[in-house]
Homo-oligomer: A and B are copies of this chain.
């Protein structure tokens, strides 16, 4: 076999996990929607054994919840949860920013500059979908630089949940976001740990306010339609 080709014999369990997770994050499966194992297994053309393992993983990540009768449903949403997600995220992103400021090389700064520039450019073009994408890449790059596996693992899960809320309540970035990333880059390049942490925390907490506002609006329109 070609040495460069990585054999990606993906297991049924992992396939199911990825597939179902995507459906939940994209809100194809809506909050509180019930899920039956047999039906889903048939749909994915696998047996219940690996499906159950996939579902358990999603359950532990709290993207699905198990009811007292043992049956599964897609996790509910709440303003309280959004606040918690962003509050915890702000602290962990703060750690990451500080550690990244400490460890980043000149090449890392160049990479981050690229993302910051793309954020600025797409923000000017009012392409907020792209702003969000490059924003994620900016943060994800910091994750790598920080080398803090414990924090990064938690952050990835938090970000999954946040992604679902984003799709659900349609909250988007603003022009401010662009400036914030530029300012962050600046202090990180200066290896200013302390300010990197503070600014990152504030940056994330600002995003929280947008998210909360959007979700409240979403919940209002939902209540009107019932």
Taking Cβ atoms with an 8 Å cutoff, the residues of A that contact B are 49, 52-53, 56-57, 60, 62, 81, 84-85, 87-88, 91-92, 94-95, 148-151, 153-154, 158
Contacts and interface: CB of A to CB of B under 8 A. Distances in A.
Contacts of A88: 92, 95, 148, 150-151, 154
Nearest to A11: B70
A151 B91 CA distance: 10
A91 B84 contact: no
**How many subunits of this chain does the assembly comprise?**
2
Contacts of A62: 153
Nearest to A81: B150
Contacts of A57: 56, 60
A84 B149 contact: yes
6 contacts: A49-B49, A52-B53, A56-B57, A88-B151, A88-B154, A91-B94
A145 to B, nearest CB: 15
A91 to B, nearest CB: 4
A151 B84 contact: yes
A133 B66 CA distance: 32
Contacts of A84: 148-151
A93 B58 CA distance: 26
Given A52-B53, A56-B56, A56-B57, 18 more contacts: A49-B49, A53-B53, A53-B56, A57-B60, A60-B60, A84-B150, A84-B151, A87-B148, A87-B151, A88-B95, A88-B150, A88-B154, A91-B91, A91-B92, A91-B94, A91-B95, A150-B158, A154-B154
Contacts of A56: 53, 56-57
A81 B149 CA distance: 8
